[in-house]
Amino acid sequence: MHLPRDPPRIESILSDERISKDILSEEIEGYAKDFNKRYLHWSEVRYRDTGQFDPDTVWARMKLVRMDDSVTLVFGKTQYRYCMSDRIMKMLREFDVRAAADFFPNVIDPHGKVYYSVSSLMEESIASSQMEGAVTTTKKAKEMLRKNIRPKDGSERMIVNNYRAMMFIKDHTDR
């Protein structure tokens, strides 16, 4: 059995000028992208084939990329950093779709299912419209949809129409 080893400290790796130049190489970038795509942990990376490079150096490049893509969440005096990989986003999307489509019948109470389903459709229609060019905040768009406020411009109209289309599809899925 292998004893766990703490991940290498990025600061100590970057302090070595020769290694810090390696970190910027295209070859290490390839390893880092491949390993980050699967969001490998240090305990896995240290045993992978990293070509001519030390796994510590590849890990440092992976961590730099993750740090650049990370989000910081603050709870009082405690900070958490996390990185949402494409794989995690796909899994969350799948969970969201299944939950809204009632594939998890006993997880949410009936009132919660309706609320979650409608809220999910709102989020989807707002985000989709924003990606297509609608200019408004998510908070303002949700308020407009919840209170059934008449749209004031093309952006709001796009969101309302998108939401109505999704509700129509949801209401007619049995056909």
Q: In this predicted model, what pLDDT tens digit does every residue of 57-101 receive, in sequence order? A: 999 999 988 888 888 888 889 998 888 877 788 888 887 777 666
Q: Furthest-apart CA pair in the chain: how many Å?
A: 66
Residue 150 has pLDDT above 90, yes or no: yes
pLDDT category, 8, cuts 50, 70, 90? confident
CB 141 within 8 A of CB 126: yes
The predicted structure's pLDDT at residue 107: 58
Bridge partner list, 81: 72
The predicted structure's pLDDT at residue 16: 82
pLDDT category, 161, cuts 50, 70, 90? very high
Residue 156 three-state SS: helix
Please indicate, yes or no, whether the overall pTM of this predicted structure exceeds 0.85: no
Mean residue pLDDT across the chain: 84
19-38 tens-digit pLDDT:
877 888 888 999 999 998 88
| Higher-pLDDT residue of 102, 138 | 138
CB 145 within 8 A of CB 151: no
| Higher-pLDDT residue of 3, 129 | 129
103-148 tens-digit pLDDT:
555 555 666 666 667 788 888 889 888 888 889 888 899 999 999 9
Task: Provide the sign of the torsion angle of the four alpha carbons 126, 127, 132, 134, taken in this order.
Answer: positive
Write down the residue that tokens 């008449």 correspond to.
150
Output phi, psi for 81, to 5 deg. Answer: -115, 135
Separation CA 125–CA 142 (nearest Å): 10
CB 60 within 8 A of CB 46: no
Residue 102 has pLDDT above 70, yes or no: no
Tokens of 74: 């603050």
